[in-house]
A and B are shown apart, each in its own frame.
Chain A
């Protein structure tokens, strides 16, 4: 962790909200990406991301400065997403289509404006397909896969975020990868 970040966190511990704003700017897109791929819905992911940052601020005293701040923050975001999924699971049936997934791909398309409409449509369709398959993974595999492939984190970092041994992280990634492969190959267009 760089020195500037350490200084920011010191300020936050003393209640400096402007310093906290800088941390939010640094990590908001990563936190959002994790939540988005965990829950599959842009609006819900944004709400969860906000909640993650608010929690981080309120519990900053519990942050151990010997560890990476991002590890601690991603852990809050992952846990909140999992809690959210469990709550949702108890509310609606597993196979129900979750509304609002269209919005996320639209958002995702914004950065690249040189694409032709057909390419855009194909990419959007692929995104939806992949997101739908991720959504079918059991939570514990899903979080390991998301942290590995969306955030490109090392196995060690993932093990710290999820608080499980590296060996278990590997097993979860292997199983998750295998499940995704099967689902994607089973027609690819299978939309639950």
Chain B
């Protein structure tokens, strides 16, 4: 453009970058009122960026995600193992729970057997 004042070009950029102060905006718009050349230039810049903004944003389908997953390297470890390494305390508890519960159940059985025996004994005494 032949408007020799480079200052307005940098003001235009500031405004378009949304970094201009109110005063700077005012200064630019005032200049645009009197300078045809700069006004056209600014309108053209605004128009081109508006066209860019309006470009469509196509949506990808769910098939895209599936295709990405299909191309990932196979999961290294089994899900249960992965869970195990992530929660070591819970895993330890879970593993200990099996023999512990057997012991508890076994102990209960024993006490009940004893009780039965006592009961039988008692009834035996009565006869």
Contact = CB atoms under 8 A, between A and B. Distances in A.
Interface string A38-82: 000010001001100110011000000000000000000000000
Contact of B55 (A57, A131, A173): A131
B77 A15 contact: yes
Contacts of A150: 52, 55, 57
Contacts of A21: 65, 68-69
A47 B58 CA distance: 15
A25 B86 CA distance: 25
Contact of B71 (A16, A33, A50): A50
Interface residues of A, number: 48
Contacts of A170: 13, 17
B48 A107 contact: no
Interface size class of B (residues with CB under 8 A): 20 to 34
A32 B58 contact: yes
B51 A110 contact: no
A24 interface: yes
A103 to B, nearest CB: 10
B55 A184 contact: no
A87 B76 CA distance: 33
Interface of B: 13, 16-17, 41, 44-45, 47-49, 51-53, 55-60, 64-65, 67-69, 71-73, 75-77, 82, 86
Interface of A: 14-17, 20-21, 24-25, 28-29, 32-33, 36-37, 42, 46, 49-50, 53-54, 57-58, 104-105, 107-111, 126-127, 130-131, 134, 145, 149-150, 152, 155, 170, 173-174, 177-178, 180-181, 184-185
16 contacts: A17-B69, A17-B72, A24-B69, A28-B64, A28-B65, A29-B58, A29-B59, A32-B64, A49-B64, A50-B67, A107-B58, A111-B59, A149-B52, A150-B52, A155-B17, A181-B41
